[in-house]
Amino acid sequence: MVRRCHVCTERGNPQTSAPLSARVLDRSGALFLRIIPCVVTDDFVGHNKMTENIKKYAPVQQCIYCGATGVELTDEHIIPFALGGDVVLPKSSCKNCAKITGEIERQCLRKILGPLRIKLDYPTRRPKRRPEKLPINIQKESGISSHEVPAKKRPHVTCLFAFNYPGILRDVDPEILELEPVPAMWFNTVKSDQARAVAHSIDPSYKHIESEGWFNPVLFGKMLGKIGHAFAVAELGLGLQGFRALIPDALIGKAPWHNGYLVGGEPDQIVDSKKRLEVRFGRKKLFSGREFGVVRIRLFGHLGAPVYYVVVGEVIKKPGRSLLGRIFRGFK
Ligand SMILES: [Zn+2]
């Protein structure tokens, strides 16, 4: 949970004002030190469509998570519809897996990204359920009071953490990884003068105006994992063409999910992008010789949001031909 005053943070140096206005605790109780504030102006509002590289993928006819065939299969949005994703992988998820991945996405889209999606006018399947009003806290000398304000005018906080590089690419033991602190996080809000106007209209004697944001790195990491895996299957095909798939078992609970191990990010990413959504596949070879397929994902790149990496597969090593060749030559 994050609470911050929308006026203080923008007014001052974010590093010094953060401990006063943002209370973000890791497991050891220490405050994260680095906060990058970003203002979402009205220029960013509008329907978010992936207009570039639209592809119609062929139906998979098998669940891409558990491998089930001969059952009823649903279509998967590679990036959720609610984030503007309109690329679909037809007949690719069984009902059980769709239930698991659907719940992960529902929580992320509603609880972590809900207010931001409302502000940006992103699509929803249930427009009637979209809240018209949302709460904010007004702090005065005498205490804090809660008030409802129109959802689009509400100063809100959305935090998207910038993760460290995926642990598997750094050869970190997945068991100790969860204790690593998250190195940075990212905020956005309305401009401080808009926040001040909202606070003033409620109570001119206000001292701070705060809203609450929520972030869960496990759920968010799993949502990224799902996007990465679905994209890898769409691009490479089932079986991932010579890669051993790493995401599905952990995603549907058949193997432990170690946060930060397969999913990570660019810890120092602050460069804006013109694109709202970016998904790309690439390969990464380590000094140890292990080679991985990595999907690079950026949601809200036009707002300066972090870049994430999902390690979707490891190259399956076959016995090296050159080595066998040498052995056989030796017998000649
Ligand atoms: Zn399944």
User: Could you tell me the distance, in angstroms and rounded to a whole number, from the CA of residue 94 to the centre of ligand 1?
Assistant: 4
User: Could you tell me the distance, in angstroms and rounded to a whole number, from the CA of residue 238 to the centre of ligand 1?
Assistant: 13
User: Could you tell me the distance, in angstroms and rounded to a whole number, from the CA of residue 64 to the centre of ligand 1?
Assistant: 7
User: Could you tell me the distance, in angstroms and rounded to a whole number, from the CA of residue 67 to the centre of ligand 1?
Assistant: 6
User: Could you tell me the distance, in angstroms and rounded to a whole number, from the CA of residue 161 to the centre of ligand 1?
Assistant: 29
Domain segments of the chain as ranges: 2-46+113-213
Task: Answer yes or no: is pLDDT of 17 > 70.
Answer: no
User: Could you tell me the distance, in angstroms and rounded to a whole number, from the CA of residue 61 to the centre of ligand 1?
Assistant: 11
What pLDDT digit, counting tens, does each position of 87-139 carry? 889 999 999 999 999 999 999 998 889 888 888 888 888 888 888 888 888 88
User: Could you tell me the distance, in angstroms and rounded to a whole number, from the CA of residue 9 to the centre of ligand 1?
Assistant: 45
User: Could you tell me the distance, in angstroms and rounded to a whole number, from the CA of residue 103 to the centre of ligand 1?
Assistant: 14
pTM given for the model: 0.81
Task: Answer yes or no: is pLDDT of 54 > 70.
Answer: no
Amino acid in the structure at residue 171: D
User: Could you tell me the distance, in angstroms and rounded to a whole number, from the CA of residue 90 to the centre of ligand 1?
Assistant: 14
User: Could you tell me the distance, in angstroms and rounded to a whole number, from the CA of residue 95 to the centre of ligand 1?
Assistant: 7
What's the pLDDT at 277?
84
User: Could you tell me the distance, in angstroms and rounded to a whole number, from the CA of residue 104 to the centre of ligand 1?
Assistant: 15
| Distances from the Cα of 46 to the Cα of 118, 159, 276, angstroms | 10, 20, 11
| Predicted confidence band of residue 169 (pLDDT cuts 50, 70, 90) | very high
What pLDDT digit, counting tens, does each position of 292-328 carry? 999 999 888 877 788 899 999 999 877 655 544 444 4
DSSP-based three-state secondary structure for 42: helix
User: Could you tell me the distance, in angstroms and rounded to a whole number, from the CA of residue 98 to the centre of ligand 1?
Assistant: 7
User: Could you tell me the distance, in angstroms and rounded to a whole number, from the CA of residue 219 to the centre of ligand 1?
Assistant: 19
Task: Answer yes or no: is pLDDT of 221 > 60.
Answer: yes
User: Could you tell me the distance, in angstroms and rounded to a whole number, from the CA of residue 99 to the centre of ligand 1?
Assistant: 9
User: Could you tell me the distance, in angstroms and rounded to a whole number, from the CA of residue 92 to the centre of ligand 1?
Assistant: 8
Alpha-carbon span 213 to 324, nearest angstrom: 58
In this structure, the strands spanning 184-188 and 158-162 are antiparallel
| Predicted confidence band of residue 269 (pLDDT cuts 50, 70, 90) | low
User: Could you tell me the distance, in angstroms and rounded to a whole number, from the CA of residue 97 to the centre of ligand 1?
Assistant: 4
User: Could you tell me the distance, in angstroms and rounded to a whole number, from the CA of residue 93 to the centre of ligand 1?
Assistant: 5
